[in-house]
Every structure is written in structure tokens, then in C-alpha cells.
Copies of this chain bind each other. A is one copy, B any other.
Amino acid sequence: MEKIRVGILGASGYTGADAVRLLARHPQVEIAALTANSHAGKPLAEVFPHLSMLKLPDLVTWEEVNWSKLDAVFCGLPHGTTQEITAKVLASNPAIKVIDMSADFRLRDMDTYAEWYGGTHRAPDLQAEAVYGLTEHYRDKIAGARLIACPGCYPTATLLSLVPLVKAGLVDASEIIVDAKSGVSGAGRGLKQNTLFCEAGEGISPYSIGKHRHAPEIEQEIGAAAGAGEPIAVNFTPHLIPMSRGELCTSYLRLANGATPDDLRAALEAAYRDEPFMLVAKKGVMPQTQNVRGSNYAQFGVFDDRIKGRAIVVSVIDNLVKGSAGQAVQNMNVAFGLEETSGLLQLPMFP
């Protein structure tokens, strides 16, 4: 079989680097183009020396890409930009599949998009076409999709653990509290004071309480899972943790319809029995980000709450893999009809 020729847009960010890490060893893929407009003309090894052993095309601007040579494009660009590029590319090369790791096509409601991303959506038609790329829950749609909007890292960790429970009516969707903790790579490679080693190290800080852009995305999908027809307000409170990779969400839930924590665990086990990357911890076992570092796996645990009628659900992922580049590759596999785990079976790295 001929290899899938992929381009990676925004290859100088952490998500781009992890996409290269995975795709360069994917047996059915050839990396045919890499873009990073601020580093165009350089080899990737200059911006990511840990990839210096690879033979790769040099970085170019996205305007220089010959799209007709590509079968798939991974977008790791800042939000806003992606809409424009995607529209241009698909207009002239309708057979390309776009796997978007940005936030540009995640929100189905145009008003919500405008409210949270500071402006009108520039490709509403494509938004209507886009499939939300939470692989385990949108697999059928992804299989036929041309434009896949990969979820944010937090929504991935949250929704994978909660969607089966909400769908089954085991928890009260109107009062979900998600206390989220993320490693610093989630903030990207841009220069910001709060992600300096001396600022983020040896300390923990909440941020964007009640205002994080992943909240409306979670609310959209919780609403859909609940069959509500519209988003449902969710408490989403993220914290910055002194580690590079990993994300842990602790969700505080009110049980519904007489469900018990054991019922919740059973529901997750049933939902994910045949899933290659979904791991439900046995009763009493604590998920931790160390268990999934560098890998595409997610792990879940369910615990009793000391307050009656409530339960606690914990979920962990690697934010750059299952939370971004890994899920993107998984979606590519689905979209091209490949083995879904292809190129994604690296085991977690511990310590």
C-alpha cells in the first residue's frame, strides 16, 4: 500500500513536535511537508534538536506548501488561522483530509464560538461539515469525515470519563464539577511569564477559573450526551502543575436514578470493553498521570464520596498525546481505514 503523505502545519509547537514524533514512526505514513512560518527555511532539528536524527523536509511557510502532493494535513496552528487555511486548502484540494488540532472547528454553535474566541467564525460552512474528533464516541462519523476537529486536551480527559455516565443517566448532568490539573506543556511553547521554570516550578496555581475556553466545549458535549439539545453549564476549574506532560481531572458528581459508584465503574467498563486505549482501573486503584505519560492511553477510576448520593471520577491522559497529537493520529487511522492503533502503541514511559 502506498503511504499516506501528510503535512504538519505549525510544526514548531509542542503539539507539532509530538505529531512528528508519532508520524515519523508510523508505518503507513510519509511526512511530506512541515510548516512553521516564523522558522521557514530551517531544518526542524534547529527548533527541535531531539528530532535531529530524522530525515525530514525543511520547514516552510504554509503558503509554500504544494497541497496537491498531500493526502492529509495536521493543523497545529493558533485558533483563527486554521479556519482560513482550511477553507483555502479544501477549496482547491477537496480530497485532502484535514485533522485539526486547534480549537477552530470544535464548537458547533457559531454564537458560542464568537463569544469565547473573540470574533465571528470565518468558515461556518466547514464548521457544519466538521466532525468532533473524540474518537471513541464519534468513530463512525470520523470514518467518513474530511474535516475532523480534535477535542481540546481537557475536554478529552473529561468527556472520555463522563460521556458514558451521562448517556446512561447515572449522574446528574446539571451539576458536574471538574477540578482539572495540567502539566505546563498544555500552555504551549510561546513565551509567557507564568510558564517560566521559576514561576511554574515548586508551586501550583489555578487559572482562568470559570473562563477557560475548554468549558464551552465540555458543556456542548455534556449537553449532547444528556440529550439536552443544548449545552449544560459545567464547573471546570483548571490548575497548573509543575510537570511537563499529563492531565488529571477529578470530577465530582451527583448520582442519579439510584446509581452507585460501582454502577459508574461498570458503565465505563462496558463502554470501553473493546477499546484499545481506554483503561478502567479496578476498584481502589488510583489513576495517575505517570501511568500514561507519552502514550495514547487514558485511565479512569471511580470512588465513593463521603457525602451520600455522590461519587468521584478520576481520569488521566497525556495532554500532548491522547489530548492532542495522538488522538489526531488515531483519527487519521480511522479516517483512512487503517488499523486504529497503527503508530500509537508506544507504551507509557515511567519513570
Contacts and interface: CB of A to CB of B under 8 A. Distances in A.
B286 A206 contact: yes
B191 A303 contact: no
A129 interface: no
Q: How many identical subunits does the complex contain? A: 4
A251 B191 CA distance: 31
B204 A289 contact: yes
Interface residues of A, number: 84
Contact of A246 (B204, B233, B303): B204
Nearest to A290: B203
Interface in A235-270: 235-237, 239, 241-246, 248, 250, 252
B189 A191 contact: no
Nearest to A24: B347
B243 A312 contact: no
A1 interface: no
A53 B306 contact: no
A133 to B, nearest CB: 22
A179 B204 CA distance: 13
7 contacts: A21-B347, A21-B349, A50-B290, A50-B293, A197-B244, A201-B243, A241-B242
A118 interface: no
A144 interface: no
